Structure formats: structure tokens, C-alpha cells
Amino acid sequence: MSTINVLSVVHDEFGVPSKVLKSAQSTIPKALSSNQVLIKMLMAPINPSDINMIEGTYHLKPQLPAVVGNEGVGEVLEVGRNVDYLKPGDWVIPSQAGFGTWRTHAVDEVEKFRKISNDIPPLSAATLAVNPCTAYRMLKDFGNLQPGDIVIQNSANSAVGQSVIQIAKAWNLKTINIVRNRDNIDKLVSHLKDLGATHVVTEDFVRTPGMKELISSEGRPKLALNGVGGKSATELLRHIGSKGVMVTYGGMSRQPVIVPTGVFIFKEVSAVGYWNSQWNVENATSPERDLMFDELCDMIRECKLIPPQSEVFNLENFAEAVQSAMEGFQEKKKVLSMENFD
């Protein structure tokens, strides 16, 4: 039986990525059952959730041994005789998290894949399902936003934050974007402004009278997006408007979200959470999910939604890519490429 050689990045225990990750060689048959699809992976990013899953600290824990990677794009090579949804040459992304995208090829049932437009850049397709979708849903589903409304967010230079900036601009929303101070702050501010940010301020500035002046001139935000937690989340709540909503989607500081009592009582603010993987499970066959991907792909084609600045590594160099990613997710995104493998 004809087979395909597969290179994968796997772990058979949870722990520090540099200690538990390893490459593995295997083979898969070219002959498919009636509902199976054979794909060649093209690109797969390294997200914080991937690292957390390797460490065993994420809410989802894969069954070990596991192939790493929640997100990525692949090209369909062959389909089973009963598969009419896909054909060779189509591009697909995993329909749910935990698929294992850090590998050169995969065979699985057709329902494990979701067709994605193959007329967008592969980097955009590979990084579409997690961060842009998170940004899209938070802006669409919370705060009842209307054109001209204001959104405030921390972690504005993260992949989610950059997607928020661009989608908000496309929807005529204003954004106040908070970042940590750094040596290259002017360069970062310029980059986020180029993406469409209305205002970019540092965490230090947020605690000064200048922030109050900014809020007075623009008006109070209806929606706050929190990817940090701790004091940073508390500051968002201090500036949000009456009956506003703060959505927490991450906790980079590893500190709890503390809500001042007065914010709850006198401003009647709502504090909620959002997890993109759970939304995908609950809306696996929803037309709303199809509409989301269609709109995001349209934005990509119109150059209104570009992926974060990225550094691409060959899959064989996964260890270097992971180490680089762990040194700072706020700089260039790390992406694994399988293009050089047959």
C-alpha cells in the first residue's frame, strides 16, 4: 500500500516545551476510507495556547502522546469517495481546537476540517481561526456597539489586539489601545496607528491626569477588552462607561481580575469572559460562523486585516521557533512552514 512520510512535533508528557517536545517520523496510507480527507499542512502558528497545552496548564488537555498545534492551514490532496464538500486543491483549517497542526500531513474525517478561501495569503489563512475570530466575536457580541463608539483594550500589540484595531476601524469604531512602555515605544505606536488605532497609550499614562483628559475628549468606552488581568484590568474598569462591558479573554499577567465594588454598584458594569474554542463548539454548524469567516476573508482581500508581523521557521527548526516565541509573544509572531516537505 502506498504511504506518505510524515514529520510531526509531539510530546508524550506535559512540561517545559524545550524538554518535552520532540520530532517524530511516521507514515500514513494514501488509501482513504469513504469520509476521510488527506491534507498537506502549509503553515501553522505558535500561539500562547499551544505553549500552555504543552505545559499542561491550558483548559484543554490533549490525550498523550499528542501532536502539537491548534491552528493552521492545509491543502487537500485527496478525498474519500463520499466526500463532496471538499476537493483536491481546496484549503482547510481545523474545525476545532486541539487538532495537531505541527505536522506535514494528516488524514482525518471530513468533519474535522473547515474549508477556507484559497485566494488569500497562506499566512493570513494559517492565523485566521484564533485571534481574528476572537477579536471579531468580542466586538460583535458584546457592548451593542454602533459606529463611532469607543473600545478600550490592554495588550493592544498582541495578535488579538492588532485584530481588534483593524476590525474596529473597518466597522467605524474608535479604539484606545494600552501597551507596556518599552525602548521602541515610538515604533510600536506608529505601527498600531498604521493599522488603524485611534489612540495608543502606555500603562503608565493610563494612571495620569492625561488619561482622564483623553476620556473626557473622546467619551467613555462602551466595551473594554482584557487580555492581561491584574491591575491592568482594574484600570480598564475605571475608565469604562456606565453599563459598559468588560470582556476577559486572556490573563497574561497571571493575576486575578479585581473589580472595584463601586464599578459594579454605581456604574452597573458587566464583567464577562470569552473563550473562542467554546464558541466554536457551540456554533460548529451555525450560519453565524460562516458569515464571520466570509467577512474576515473579505477584509483580508481588501487589505483591511493583515496578520501580525511574523517570522517563519521550517518545521525542522521547531525548537528554535518555540524558544523564540516564549521569549516574547508581543514581538513578531512565530510561524512554522511545511512548504519544503513533499
Strands lying side by side in the sheet with 3-11: 22-29, 3-11, 66-67
pLDDT over threshold 90, residue 213: yes
Contact 6, 103 (CB under 8 A): yes
pLDDT over threshold 90, residue 217: yes
Q: Choosing from 58, 85, 136, 249, which is the catalytic residue? A: 58
- Domains, the chain, in order of start with CATH, read 3-127+307-337 (3.90.180.10), 131-277 (3.40.50.720)
Nearest-5° angle of CA 95, CA 136, CA 238?
130
pLDDT tens-digit map of 13-42: 999 999 999 999 999 988 899 999 999 999
SS3 68: coil
pTM across the whole model = 0.94
pLDDT tens-digit map of 319-332: 999 999 887 655 67
Q: Where are the alpha helices (DSSP H) in the chain?
A: 17-20, 48-55, 122-126, 131-141, 159-170, 185-195, 203-206, 209-218, 230-239, 261-266, 276-282, 287-301, 318-326
pLDDT recorded at residue 189: 95
pLDDT over threshold 60, residue 336: yes
Distance (Å, whole) CA 178 – CA 236: 9
List C-alpha distances in Å: 67 to 19, 63, 245: 15, 10, 37
pLDDT over threshold 60, residue 342: no
SS3 240: coil
pLDDT over threshold 60, residue 57: yes
The stretch 258-287 carries a mean pLDDT of 92
pLDDT classification of 341: cutoffs 50, 70, 90 = low
pLDDT tens-digit map of 143-190: 899 999 999 999 999 999 999 999 999 999 999 999 998 888 999 999
pLDDT recorded at residue 29: 87
- Report the chain's mean pLDDT, rounded to a whole number: 93
Question: Using CB atoms within 10 A of its CB, is residue 274 exposed (0-12), middle (13-18) or buried (19+)?
Answer: middle
SS3 49: helix
Q: Is 58 a catalytic residue?
A: yes
pLDDT tens-digit map of 155-164: 999 999 999 9
Give me 89's grid cell. 486543491
Question: Using CB atoms within 10 A of its CB, is residue 45 exposed (0-12), middle (13-18) or buried (19+)?
Answer: buried
Distance (Å, whole) CA 15 – CA 57: 9
pLDDT classification of 60: cutoffs 50, 70, 90 = confident
pLDDT classification of 43: cutoffs 50, 70, 90 = very high
The stretch 34-58 carries a mean pLDDT of 94
Nearest to 75 by CA among 33, 117, 46: 117
pLDDT recorded at residue 330: 55
